[in-house]
Amino acid sequence: MNLQLSDQRIRATCRELVKKHGSVTGAGLCEELRSRFGAVGKTMRVFRIWRRETEVTRVLGVPGCGVSVV
């Protein structure tokens, strides 16, 4: 079965994991997507979304993300 997850669903899952854990790896996001939805999506697309979402937390220096910007 070919199940395609929407960008919005991937983004929301990523944001939820960052909020809950302070950070998330690309592999961690893929694992959570597989657990929740039974599918991950195309790796390049998932990691592109993950990079964009986690870049926001790194650039803004959001507490708990482990990166500070000076």
Tokens of 21: 């854990």
The label of the residue with tokens 């964009």 reads 52
Q: Is the pLDDT of residue 59 over 70?
A: no
Residue 42: inside a domain, yes or no? yes
Residue 66: inside a domain, yes or no? no
- The pLDDT value recorded for residue 67 is 42
Q: What mean pLDDT is reported for the chain?
A: 82
pLDDT tens-place string over residues 16-50: 999 999 889 999 999 999 999 998 888 899 999 99
Residue 24: inside a domain, yes or no? yes
**Of 36, 25, 23, 31, which is closest to residue 66 (Cα–Cα)?**
23
Q: How many domains does one find in the chain?
A: 1
Identify the domain containing residue 54 by its residue range.
Answer: 7-60
Tokens of 67: 């990166």
Residue 67: inside a domain, yes or no? no
Tokens of 3: 């199940």
Task: Answer with the residue of higher pLDDT: 24 or 60.
Answer: 24
Read off the pTM.
Answer: 0.74
Integer CA distances (angstroms), 41 to 7, 30, 44, in order: 9, 8, 9
